[in-house]
Amino acid sequence: MTDTLHLAGIGIGPFNLSIAALLDGINTSVRFFDSKPEFSWHPDLLLPGASLQTSFLKDLVTPVAPTNPHSFLAYLVAHKRFYAFLNAEQRAVSRQEFADYFSWVARRLPSLQFASGVSDVVFERDHFVLCIGEQKIKARNISVGTGRRPHVPACCQPHISAECFHALEIGRRQPDLRGKRVAVIGGGQTGAEIVLNLLDQQWGRCEQLLWLTRRPNLQPLDETPFTNEFFTPEYVSAFQQLPWQRRQRLVAEQKLASDGVSPQTLTQLYQRLYRQRYLDGSADLLQLLPNRELMALSRDQDFVLTVHDALHGDHSQYRADVIILCTGLSDAFPACLQSLRERLECDEQGRPRLDAQFRVGWDGPRHNRIYLLNAGRYSHGVAEQQLSLMAWRSACVINDLLGEPRFDIRSGGGLLDWQTPAVTEAVA
């Protein structure tokens, strides 16, 4: 059937973009679809000063195809920026520059189709059918990369409005915070970046700033060498073979390997607050409250926040005019797969169960594959939701899709032995 694609990608975030970039030039019929009018990477949270938490070498292609024309280095050279980039000696690339790199690649790939939201996917005999408005796209295999959704605590859900919103929307909402009492909820990287921008009066000079985090302190992202071993293919392979309970526990234990504030951001913030208190002589604007969890939110003229203090075990109340939720993202079952949901294999928590090749098990033909990206935190480990192993995962998917080792996915690993020989033999 000539009009049936070999692979249809749903969602064009960085993860499917990486697959599209690595498939560019390979003779197979593929097409990727996204509801947005053009590529963008979390555009409403592209704050001034926000930087990448990952090495720029872990781009769309380099870890598995260092000579591929869609690399970050190729972008720098094409933009006549290579020497200046090196001279700038940046510890971390800005998110703005990496987003521009992604967009540059997206503009060069003929396999991408924007303004094409997939509302449903059904299976007919030997192929999937993607519904995009009136358009029906047939594909033997699909790769679903529709991302995660903003997490909104239950007590905030009834209050979502121009005065209470998730940080991922701040660019779209452009709040006027002049003279307002603002509460920021959440002590991760986004919370820190929002607070820094509030102190810089990005949305006007607020009157008071309250920053709550249930974490015991502002905790740094652990980017040290041995922790970075969790972000190697070898660790992922070892992790994948562990019993489910142990994987759950490890993901919780390794939280700060993927979810903390960059040490540079913490230093910047501390220096900013020091200057404000001791040198500028300005009144303290920010009240920083660790160990505090927002338990209830009510609204009269303003918001009343009921907060639990985990250190002392008591509750207190605070008032604010605007609430900014920096409460992260949560896994979302892709809405476009609802029609297939009953047919997918799920784990004890109802999450799709992925195999080593990132396929979800299902009751349809084995040669019609459903690849799920950004859905394997509990099957593949903490690296799954980061850019770190994106190119390697794409190569695993492509090798499986093509049925041949097109990319060498044996990385040589890190310095730690994650598998004992006995386990390796048992698995082989």
Instruction: Summarize as ranges the residues that interact with ligand FAD (CB under 6 A).
Output: 10-16, 33-36, 41-42, 45, 52-54, 117-118, 145-147, 329, 336, 373-374, 385-388
CB atoms within 10 A of CB 283: 8
Give rounded-to-5 percent helix, strand, coil for the chain. Answer: 35, 25, 45
Closest to ligand FAD by CB, 219 or 386: 386
In angstroms, what is the minimal distance from the CB of 205 to ligand FAD? 25
Shortest reach from residue 279's CB to ligand FAD, in Å = 31
Distance in Å, CB of 122 to ligand FAD, minimum:
14
Nearest to 245 by CA among 256, 253, 236: 253
Q: Which two tokens stand for residue 144?
A: 């679903």
**Cα Rg, the chain, nearest whole Å:** 23
Cα separation of 8 and 23, whole Å? 12
Q: How far apart, in whole angstroms, are the C-alpha atoms of residue 107 and residue 323? A: 37
CA 24/CA 30 separation, integer angstroms: 9
Q: Give the nearest distance from C-beta 415 to ligand FAD in angstroms.
A: 22
User: In this complex, which beta carbon is closest to ligand FAD, that of residue 54 or of residue 213?
Assistant: 54
**Nearer Cβ to ligand FAD (116/208):** 116
Nearer to ligand FAD, 29 or 96 (CB): 96
Residue located via tokens 């915070």: 177
Nearest approach in angstroms of CB 149 to ligand FAD is 9
Q: How deeply is 46 buried, as exposed, middle or buried, from its count of CB atoms within 10 A (0-12, 13-18, 19+)?
A: middle
We find the least distance from the C-beta atom of residue 58 to ligand FAD, in angstroms, to be: 8
Measured from the CB atom, the residue of 76 and 285 that comes closer to ligand FAD is 76
* The residue type at 149: R
Residues 428 and 419: their CA atoms lie apart, in Å, by: 12
Nearer to ligand FAD, 11 or 175 (CB): 11
